[in-house]
Amino acid sequence: EWAAHVAGTEYEFTPDKIEQLIDYYLEGICKQSVYGIYLEKGTMNRGISRKETFRPISKRTPESLLLASDYRKDELEEIIALRKGEIRPSASFATFFWQSEHFVFQRPGFYTSVRMYSVRNQNMEYPHNSEGILNHHKGDGANFLSVVGDEYLNIWPVYDWQKIPGATILQKPELPPANKVLMNGVTSFVGAVSDGEYGAVAFDFISPHDFTRARKGWFFFDDEYVCLGSGIESPSRTLPVVTTMNQALLDGDVIVSQGTRTETLKKGEHEIENANWVYHNGTGYLFPDSTHIHLSNRAESGKWTDITRQSSSPKELVTKDVFALWIDHGVRPQGNTGGFDYTSTIPKDVKYQYMVVPATTAGQMNNDRGIEVLVNNRHVQAVQDQESGMVQAIFYQAGEVDTSEGMKLSLDSPGAVMLKISEGKVKEITVADPSRSLSRIHLQISGMEKLVIDLPGGVYAGQSIITEL
């Protein structure tokens, strides 16, 4: 606002400063909002415990910026038009904020994000003023998804805070005290590779609360994204570990494909063997390997005072219909032998894999998506889109991946790689170092000379580097 107030006076912002401000607003604030219109739940901290109204973010900021400068005028006007409801979303992007370990992905029909943390930052805002007192796991790979934007509207008093979408969480009898919400991250290999349009996200996850661990990857394409997990372990000998696909407001029928039959579920809690897919509220959840899942579509109750101790918060009991979908990995999923350490001999590499297909219909759920999981273990995770040929891979250590064309991709260090392939040839390579410890990546692709790609350092460590061939 001050930029607008002083525009045209001797106190006006210099062009470089106002351009920097507009860049920050469009590339940061707007991209971390659903379609640039609504607040995004993945970014919210203790403010999530405040009741809200479903409405667009105010137009005041972009209008003020337009008064101050005509820099990126068309984009600011588009944000205003979106918030007025005059146009529909059209932007597509994949952006990783490498300082805050936050990834956002948008297509015209959906918006999603992944929130993480590492040794370089902390998991969550402290619950100041006793707000957000159950936010312990909200940064543990939270993967909120919006098609309309109201999927989680005021669900929070009835929420199961140990079933966060995208997160792998030990199911404790109760969460630790509120003063234990804020914790330092304990792993360094956390990041993403992105070319601005597509991306893959890597989270070598260890919970600072209970030391549950998993290696979690997300792989984003135009119409769907793939979620992989491996190396799931827990030190607890009594409590189960769960990975949640989603927990959102129940809106319409829940349809499940199991084996050779498809059915619409009655309200309740369900345990389903050999699930092929689940469909709810315009989004499908596909299981490439038939999977044993748990699903709840029923009324849940709670109070705002369960998540905040603010005296002004509503006190009445709230009841809402909730949809929740999760995989139960069991107690101490890695087994009772072997140490709690990836370097030890552990007989079981416990995994999950599922694909999220937003903005679709139940009738399209049996369609071949053309997406292949190339490998999913505690060392490497990789996915390929058969139509475009794109390969996305996460190397937790040096390793090799075979693509569907018989091409081999190898790294001699940890890293994240994305290949764009056309007519059997690699046209573009994007790399990143989630650990922020390397100065360069050595990459070998069959039929090509070994590539050495220099990586950024300092405040740019963790940023992706694109190489066109």
pLDDT digits (tens, 9 = 90+) for 347-358: 689 999 999 999
pLDDT > 90: what percent of the chain?
90
Residue 366: give the domain boundaries.
93-373
pLDDT digits (tens, 9 = 90+) for 178-230: 999 999 999 999 999 999 999 999 999 999 999 999 999 999 999 999 999 99
Band (11; pLDDT cuts 50, 70, 90)? confident
How confident is the model over 418-445, as a mean pLDDT?
96
d(CA 252, CA 237): 38
* Domain contains 180: yes
d(CA 139, CA 48): 13
Rg (CA), the chain: 22
* Domain contains 225: yes
Does 179 lie in the same domain as 32?
no
Of the residues 57, 91, 125, the one at which a domain ends:
91
How confident is the model over 403-431, as a mean pLDDT?
94
> Do the beta carbons of residue 282 and residue 147 sit within 8 Å?
yes
Contacts of 286 (CB under 8 A, 6+ apart): 224, 276, 277, 354, 355, 356, 357, 365, 369
The number of folded domains in the chain is 2
pLDDT digits (tens, 9 = 90+) for 252-306: 999 999 988 999 999 999 999 999 999 999 999 999 988 999 999 999 999 999 9
Give me the pLDDT at residue 455, please: 98
pTM for this prediction: 0.96
* Domain contains 424: no
Query: What is the rounded average pLDDT for all residues in the chain?
Result: 95
Does 80 lie in the same domain as 110?
no
User: In the numeric block, which tokens belong to residue 318?
Assistant: 């709230």
Does 76 lie in the same domain as 18?
yes
Give me the pLDDT at residue 3, please: 85
* Domain contains 418: no
Give me the pLDDT at residue 340, please: 52
Of the residues 72, 91, 110, the one at which a domain ends:
91
Instruction: Reply yes or no on whether the pLDDT at 419 is more than 60.
Output: yes
Instruction: Reply yes or no on whether the pLDDT at 337 is more than 70.
Output: no
Give me the pLDDT at residue 55, please: 94
Beta bridge partner(s), residue 262: 257
- Within 10 Å of residue 363's Cβ, how many Cβ atoms? 8
User: In the numeric block, which tokens belong to residue 383?
Assistant: 């996915």
Instruction: Reply yes or no on whether the pLDDT at 373 is more than 70.
Output: yes
> Do the beta carbons of residue 215 and residue 229 sit within 8 Å?
yes
How confident is the model over 122-126, as a mean pLDDT?
97
Give me the pLDDT at residue 8, please: 85
Band (345; pLDDT cuts 50, 70, 90)? low
d(CA 87, CA 443): 44
Instruction: Reply yes or no on whether the pLDDT at 370 is more than 90.
Output: yes
Beta bridge partner(s), residue 254: 280
Instruction: Reply yes or no on whether the pLDDT at 343 is more than 90.
Output: no
Give me the pLDDT at residue 447, please: 87
* Domain contains 440: no
Does 167 lie in the same domain as 157?
yes
* Domain contains 416: no
Of the residues 373, 405, 424, the one at which a domain ends:
373
- Give the three-class secondary structure for 225: strand
Band (341; pLDDT cuts 50, 70, 90)? low
Does 296 lie in the same domain as 220?
yes
Does 111 lie in the same domain as 36?
no
Does 145 lie in the same domain as 173?
yes
pLDDT digits (tens, 9 = 90+) for 152-187: 999 999 999 999 999 999 999 999 999 999 999 999
pLDDT > 70: what percent of the chain?
98
Q: What letters, b where the CB count within 10 A reaches 16 and e where it falls short, cover 260-282?
A: eeeeebeeeebebeebbbbbbbb
In sequence order, what E strands does 16-163 have?
33-34, 38-39, 93-97, 102-107, 110-115, 145-146
